[in-house]
Amino acid sequence: MAMPFDSRELRQVLGSFVTGVTVITTVDAKGQRHGLTVNSFSSVSLDPPLILWSQSLSAPSHPVFRDAERFVVNILADDQVAVSNRFARGGDDKFAGCATDPGLGGVPLIRGSAAWLECKRMDSFRGGDHMVFLGQVERIERSARQPLVFGGGRYLVAQAHDLGTLLTDSGPNIARLGAVRVATRALVDLSDELDETLGLGVWGNHGATIVRWEESKQPVSDNLRTGLVLPVTTSATGLAFAAWLPPELTEPFITAEANEQKQANHVPRTEGLAQRLEEIRRLGFVRLVGIDDFSDLYGGSISALSVPVFDPDGAMVLALTAIGASDRLDTSETGKVVSGMRRCAEELTQRLRGSPAPSKN
């Protein structure tokens, strides 16, 4: 039995299919230029070379494209978001300030695009509330630019899939770089979902290091620096690595921090650390609430969360960390932030074909 759905739900499902972004251009009988942003472009045939695209029957420019003999498919480059937005909106002169070159029949080609297909309209077919245009490709050109991508209601960037090299015979450093690339994209999505400031941490030569930040709409600080090295015993990221990395990797840093704290006449944070790390492993995440250790960096008291991501050998390879003002960040175990971070970390671990190492006792 067919399940009912509305146009909004259908649009959301269709948005799961990622597409390129094009601007279709043409000229009318008076030589006036017209263009609109389209992501319904698709190939049809190689021999003969045919493509198609569709346009809403209610679009103001529909009569122009319906009667036009020629059109150009301008496949936009990844730095042409403004061009896409310009031609997606209404307006009398969308070409103002947009550099073009004349193509076959005087149809404009937008400069800086990733590729161009100059077409002759062969036929058109009505499909519901849209008109489908079939064009024969007469001339093509491609630049070295990367294409702009659109999916899920927002612009994206096309990049090579990482898992092919990540999971073969590449060495640990290459594999770690691949994991960072995969996690970076997940971090962007998670930050948008939670509207929290998130960091991506790795274990580097100097210990726990943040290699990527994604800000929330209300960032905890304007001083978020990549390459930030964090202490092991007082930061959520550092404690996560201390809990799940082999002790021989973390103990030299823990000892050095304890010595610094003693020299400053402070009680070393290493007291009771073993029990604390055991509790972190039991919970599956690190939670710090209302800490002032980083007030110079963030301008006040913060709370922080961190969850581990594991590689195929069961080793912790990444830390997903959230930071926020103490009165804003929800650190509850069943709250949306912890739940979202744990889900994301589990998905990344699965993508890396990883699994947590056996619990330390």
CA angle 330/335/341 to nearest 5° reads 90
SS3 359: coil
Dump pLDDT digits (tens) for 80-109. 999 999 999 887 789 998 999 999 999 999
Has residue 164 got a pLDDT over 50? no
CATH number for 12-151 (one of 2.30.110.10, 1.10.630.10, 3.30.200.20, 1.10.260.40): it is 2.30.110.10
Share of the chain above pLDDT 90, in %: 65
pLDDT of 170 above 50: no
b/e code 245-277 from CB counts within 10 Å (16+ = b): beeeebeebbeebbeebeeeeeeebbeebeebb
Give me the pLDDT at residue 6, please: 86
Q: What is the mean pLDDT of residues 353-357?
A: 76
Q: What confidence category does residue 131 fall into, taking pLDDT thresholds of 50, 70 and 90?
A: very high
Instruction: Note the pLDDT of residue 298.
Output: 75
- Distance between CA atoms of residues 308 and 287, nearest Å: 12
Q: How many residues does the chain have?
A: 361
The topology (CATH level 3) of 162-351 is Beta-Lactamase (3.30.450)
Residues 6+ apart with CB under 8 A from 23: 35, 36, 37, 38, 74, 76, 83, 84, 87, 110, 113
Nearest Cα to Cα of residue 116 among 133, 135, 90: 135
Other residues' Cβ atoms within 10 Å of the Cβ of residue 319:
30
- Summarised one tens digit per residue, pLDDT across range 65-85 is 999 999 999 999 999 999 999
Rounded CA-CA distance 225/211 in Å is: 9
Residue 360 in this model has a pLDDT that exceeds 60: no
134 by DSSP, 3-state: which? strand
Tokens of 334: 């069943």
Token digits of residue 204:
């580097």
Residue 43 is encoded by which pair of tokens?
């190939």
Task: Annotate 286-306 with DSSP letters as a single string.
Answer: EEEEEE-TTHHHHSS-EEEEE
- Report residue 179's pLDDT band, with 50, 70 and 90 as the boundaries: confident
The residue extents of the domains of the chain are 12-151, 162-351
Q: What is the pLDDT of residues 272-291, one digit of tens each?
A: 899 999 999 999 999 999 98
Q: What is the pLDDT of residues 299-322, one digit of tens each?
A: 788 999 999 999 888 889 999 999
